[in-house]
Chains A and B, each alone.
Chain A
Amino acid sequence: MATAKTDSGFQALARRLMPFVTGIGMILVWYGICMSLSADQRFLLPTPHEVARAFVEKGPALWSAALNTGGGALIGFGLAVGLSFLFALFLSLSPLVRASFYPYLMILQMTPIIVIAPILILWVGPGLKSVVIITFLICFFPMVVNTTQGLISTDRNLVAFFTMCKATRWQEILLLRVPAALPYFFTGLRIAATLAPIGAIVGDYIAGNSAGGQGGLGFLTIIYSSQFQMGALFATAAVGCLLGFVFVAGVIALSWLALHKWHDSFSQSDT
Chain B
Amino acid sequence: MIEENPLPIVELRDVDKRYGDGPLILDKITFSAKRGDFITLIGPSGCGKSTILKLISGLNPISSGRIVVDGLEPRNAVEKLAFVFQEPTLLPWRTVAQNVEVPLRLHGSDPKLRDEVVGKSLALVGLADRKDYYPRQLSGGQKMRVSIARALSVSPRILLLDEPFGALDEMTRDHLNEELLAIRQQLAWTAFFVTHSVSEAVFLSNRIIVLSANPGRVHSEVRVEFPYPRTEETRESAGFQKMVAEVSKILRSVERLH
Interface residues of A (CB under 8 A from B): 155, 157-158, 160-167, 171, 175-176, 179-180, 182, 261-264, 267, 271
Known: A164-B78, A164-B81, A171-B106. A176 touches B136 (CB 8 A): no
Q: How far is the CB of B55 from chain A (nearest CB, A)?
A: 13
Q: State how many angstroms separate the Cβ of A182 from the closest Cβ of chain B.
A: 7
How many CB-defined contacts (below 8 Å) exist between A and B? 57
> Is B197 close to A, CB under 8 A?
no
In whole angstroms, what is the CA distance A264 to B136 when docked? 8
Contact between B89 and A167, CB atoms less than 8 A apart: no
Q: A262 with B92: in contact, given A162-B106, A165-B102, A167-B106 (CB under 8 Å)? A: yes
- Considering the complex, which residues of chain B in the window 77-133 have a beta carbon less than 8 Å from any beta carbon of chain A? 78-79, 81-83, 85-87, 89, 91-94, 102-103, 105-107
B137 touches A179 (CB 8 A): no
Q: Tell me if B135 is interfacial: C-beta within 8 Å of chain A.
A: yes
Decide if B240 is an interface residue (CB 8 Å cutoff): no
Within 8 Å of chain A (Cβ to Cβ): is B31? no
Interface, chain B (partner A; CB < 8 A): 57-59, 78-79, 81-83, 85-87, 89, 91-94, 102-103, 105-107, 134-137, 154
Q: 10 tightest A-B contacts by CB?
A: A165-B106, A157-B89, A262-B93, A165-B103, A262-B134, A167-B106, A157-B85, A262-B92, A179-B93, A271-B137
Q: B83–A161 contact, CB under 8 A? A: yes
Does A155 contact B89, Cβ atoms closer than 8 Å? yes
> Given A157-B89, A166-B106, A262 and B135 touching (CB < 8 A)?
yes
Complex A-B: 7 CB contacts under 8 Å: A161-B85, A164-B81, A165-B78, A165-B103, A165-B106, A175-B102, A179-B91
Min Cβ gap B36→A in Å is 22
Q: Which residue of A is nearest B85, CB measured? A: A157
Report the separation of the CA atoms of residues A160 and B103 in the bound assembly, to the nearest whole angstrom.
12
Given A157-B87, A166-B79, 16 extra CB contacts under 8 A: A157-B86, A157-B89, A160-B59, A160-B85, A162-B106, A164-B57, A164-B58, A164-B59, A165-B102, A165-B103, A165-B154, A175-B91, A262-B94, A262-B134, A264-B136, A271-B136
- How many whole Å from A104's CB to the nearest CB in chain B? 32
Complex Cα distance, B133 from A200, in Å, reads 43
A176→B94 CA distance, assembly (Å): 11
Q: Which residues of A contact B83 (CB under 8 A)?
A: 160-161, 164
- Rounded to whole Å, the gap between the CB of B133 and the closest CB of chain A is 9
With CB as the reference atom, state the residue of chain B lying closest to A270. B137
A158 and B89 within 8 A (CB)? yes
Give the shortest distance, in Å, between A95 (CB) and chain B (any CB): 17
Task: Please determine whether A163 and B59 come into contact, CB atoms closer than 8 angstroms.
Answer: yes
Which residues from chain B contact A262 at a C-beta distance below 8 Å?
92-94, 134-136
Chain B residues closer than 8 Å to A182, beta-carbon distance:
93
Specify which chain A residues have a CB less than 8 angstroms from the CB of B106 in the assembled complex.
Answer: 162, 165-167, 171, 175
A261 in complex: contacting residue of B59, B86, B102, B134, CB < 8 Å: B134
- On chain B, the residues within 8 Å of A179 by CB distance are 91, 93
Contacts of B102 in A (CB 8 A): 165, 175
Q: A86 vs B134: C-alpha distance in the bound complex, in angstroms?
A: 29
Q: Tell whether, in the assembled complex, residue B81 and residue A158 are in contact, meaning their CB atoms are under 8 Å apart.
A: no
Q: In the bound complex, how far is the Cα of B90 from the Cα of A155, in angstroms?
A: 10
Query: Bound state CA distance, A161 and B153, in angstroms?
Result: 14
A263:B92 contact, CB within 8 angstroms: yes
Report A-chain residues with C-beta under 8 Å of the C-beta of B91: 158, 175-176, 179-180
A179 to B93 CA separation, bound complex (whole angstroms): 7
Residue of B nearest to A263 (CB): B92
A179 to B91, CA, bound (A): 9
Q: Give the docked Cα–Cα distance between A271 and B91 (Å).
A: 18
In the complex, which residue of chain A has the Cβ closest to the Cβ of B86?
A: A157
Which B residues touch A157, using CB under 8 A? Answer: 85-87, 89
Please indicate the chain B residues that have their CB under 8 angstroms from the CB of A264 in the complex.
Answer: 136
Question: How far does the alpha carbon of A165 sit from the alpha carbon of B94 in the complex, in Å?
Answer: 17
User: In the assembled complex, which residues on chain B have CB atoms less than 8 Å from the CB atom of A271?
Assistant: 136-137
State A171–B102 Cα separation when bound (angstroms): 11
Cα distance A167–B58 when bound, in Å? 14
Q: How far is the CB of B253 from chain A (nearest CB, A)?
A: 33
Residue of B nearest to A171 (CB): B106
Residues in chain B near residue A180, CB distance under 8 A: 91
A168 shortest CB reach to chain B, Å: 8
Residues in B neighbouring A175, C-beta threshold 8 A: 91, 102, 105-106
| Chain B residues within 8 Å of A163, by CB | 59
Residue of B59, B81, B82, B89 ringed by the most chain A CB atoms within 10 A: B89
By beta carbon, the residue of chain A nearest B79 is A166
Closest CB-CB distance, A257 to chain B, in whole Å?
Answer: 13
Q: Which chain B residues lie closer than 8 Å to A263 at the CB level?
A: 92-93
Q: Which of B57, B107, B136 contacts A267 (CB 8 A)?
A: B136
